[in-house]
Structure 1
Amino acid sequence: MKEIIENISLRTITSPEELALVTNLERIVWADDDPVPVNHYVAVVKNGGLVIGAFLNEKLIGFQYSFPGFNGSSVYLCSHSMGIHPDYRRIGIGEKLKRKQREVALEKGYKHIEWTYDPLETVNGYLNLSKLGGACKKYIENCYGDMPDVLNAGMPSDRFLVEWRIAEEKAEVAPDVNETGDVLRLINVIYDELGFPVPESVHLDNGNNAELLYVPVPGNIQEIKIQRMSLALEWRMRTREVFTHYFNNGWMATALKKSDQSSLYYYVLQKAIER
């Protein structure tokens, strides 16, 4: 793994020939035959957007795609998609791509980057919040409508909207979670006969005097979807209820922590900072 990472090179992609490699990789990553057209990529990179490629021995094994966004008052970079070839996942390529994105975005004059991700996908959550320093205070229900690809099929496409203030440093927000410790957990969890975590009940009145709140999520949502889709949907609806309530009442998610005693992960919520 270390040898692979050391031999990966990162660079922006601008030519139609190399952008065609990105569309080919999209088909592999999402098992989908509807990639972004090459001419669309070309137009975006000529108008403030970015496509960054991760290459191993000149073979494209990962990419990150983003375009300019506007919220009515300021321009930001909208980070739309990132894909890693299945043979090279979970070795740190995603983090390298995001840090390269930050570097190039700062060179272009951007001050912050926004993107969405599924909060039940804990690998993405750990990268986006705990490693990169993003934060979320907006929950979008069924953001993209029905999505038929292998990762999203069968579930409402709820998303966190992440803000990454790329010119700022992130402070530590919380220690790792000890489940026997005195922390405010907003969902009670039990376990079924297969050992899967089940969200038993939610708490929407905790935290008025707390500095930090904790929202448990399963660390294996794709496995749960395969074995018990009804349970995966229950996790979607329970977490939707909790996150929507607390985000609407001035809290934001600033980290995702692995439990030291189970397969659960915990989102860390703290009072939102106005910018």
Structure 2
Amino acid sequence: MKLLMRLIARFLNPADPAWHGIIDQLWQQLGAPHNPELLPPHFVKSTFLRMGGIVVTFHDDRRLVGVGLLFPRAIQPDGTRMYTLRLHELDQNLPDDLIQTTLHPIPVTIYRPRDGITFAPPAPRPTGIWIGPPQADDLPAIAALYRAVWNSQPYPADLFSTEFGAATALVATVDNRLVGFLLGFWRFGALPDTPDELAIESQVMAVDPAYRTYGLATRLKRAQAHAALACGVRCLHWTVDPLQLPNALLNFNRLHAIATEFVSGYYPVFNALNQVSASRFIITWLPASTHGRVGLVDGGERPALTDLPGVAILNDGPHPRPAPAHPPFIAIAIPSDWSALQHRDRALAHTWRTTTDAIFGEWVGWERYVIYTVAYDASGQPYLIGKPDGSWMWE
């Protein structure tokens, strides 16, 4: 805690048992759920922290006067971490110089949501499929698409602006109609041995369901990877529901990313896509590696279970199976229609989640097994396939 001229900065501790309630209370004070400038609270409670973000509150000697999110921004050659302070003031403007002094020695760029005013210049897009930066006129369509796909309040539109400086701000159009977008943030570290390496958290993507046969999700992710490599960033990172087959096919078979960690109940949220606990894989894509760069070109794999000698099948649907020690491959069955199953039979969905959570928690992780592809048995049942981590991931 630092005190100067009645301005105090308090850095909140995510290990506090009341962490979720603290964020909810702050968001209510800032006008949630009706304040469109606020990021989703489930993001702040989880991914924001894991990517190196910090929540800070500002007080005078009597009360709360502001809330800030310190987003990772850059890493200086000497290892100093730099941040973008996304600032929400309650009822008065806080002087920038006072904020800078209060946060010293943390180097910050102060940014308020109203500062996000610059986007790509207006210009017609070509016919066919186009991927590129958003224009200001795209923002209403981005918000509408987010609501249609995720059924919740959109991420604030200003995050796509030049002033905020997101790691990735892309839209996809077909014949000049906006049909997809991708937003990513900078993060500090995504690999166990490089905590001070700048990486990208590929946070939120949506594609119009009417255009999902166009390969737009793959195109957006590849555009993000090419841009990362061009600026010297070698690692992209995101989270995904391990039971969503379409996402698994995209992440593993087309992009050649890998699931390196598993977190049960990652997001404290229940919605149309998460009728049961929102567990997540942590996905790592290294597009400069031998394995990862295959995902930059077309030709996704569709292996068969019979292609994997010695594979250990760890479950029969929602029921676990005994497994041998140290198999060369593991296979975990997942539903082919996870979203529909949750709405059709929530009890069965809960059993699937509980069983697979236990399997992933035991088997998946650094220095254990990583998930790298989807395979099918003769009946068409999909399986997530894992093998021990090792040099094949990095070469």
Give the TM-score category using the shorter length: 0.7 to 0.9
Return the alpha-carbon distance in structure 1 between the equivalents of residues 303 and 176 of structure 2. Answer: 40
Structure 1 counterpart SS, 2:266 = coil
Runs of 4+ in structure 1 displaced over 4 angstroms?
171-174
Match of 1:225 among 336, 342, 349: 342
Return the alpha-carbon distance in structure 1 between the equivalents of residues 310 and 197 of structure 2. Answer: 41
Match of 1:64 among 182, 192, 199: 182
Return the alpha-carbon distance in structure 1 between the equivalents of residues 148 and 251 of structure 2. Answer: 23
Q: Any unmatched runs of 5+ in structure 2?
A: 1-126, 190-194, 295-300
Contact 1:202 1:242 in 2 (8 A): no
Q: 2:158 maps to what in 1?
A: 39
Q: Name the Cα RMSD after superposition.
A: 2.5
Match of 2:230 among 97, 103, 107: 107
Match of 1:184 among 301, 312, 320: 312
Q: 2:360 maps to what in 1?
A: 243
Q: 2:217 maps to what in 1?
A: 94
Q: Select between 169-178 and 112-121 the one with higher mean Cα deviation.
A: 169-178
Match of 1:162 among 270, 283, 288: 283
Task: Give % identity.
Answer: 22
Return the alpha-carbon distance in structure 1 between the equivalents of residues 154 and 329 of structure 2. Answer: 41
Match of 1:30 among 146, 150, 157: 150
Q: 2:17 maps to what in 1?
A: none
Return the alpha-carbon distance in structure 1 between the equivalents of residues 221 and 270 of structure 2. Answer: 24
User: In 2 relative to 1, CA 138–233 (structure 1 residues): closer, same or farther, beyond 3 Å?
Assistant: same
Q: 1:259 maps to what in 2?
A: 377
Contact 1:115 1:161 in 2 (8 A): yes
Return the alpha-carbon distance in structure 2 between the equivalents of residues 8 and 66 of structure 1. Answer: 21
Q: Any unmatched runs of 5+ in structure 1?
A: 1-5, 190-197
Q: 1:211 maps to what in 2?
A: 328
Q: How many residues of Structure 1 are paired with residues of Structure 2 in the alignment?
A: 253
With normalisation by structure 1, the TM-score equals 0.83
With normalisation by structure 2, the TM-score equals 0.59
Contact 1:211 1:270 in 2 (8 A): yes
User: Bigger relative contact order, structure 1 or 2, given CA contacts below 8 A and separation 6+?
Assistant: 1
Contact 1:202 1:238 in 2 (8 A): no
Return the alpha-carbon distance in structure 1 between the equivalents of residues 150 and 302 of structure 2. Answer: 34
Which is greater in Rg?
A: 2
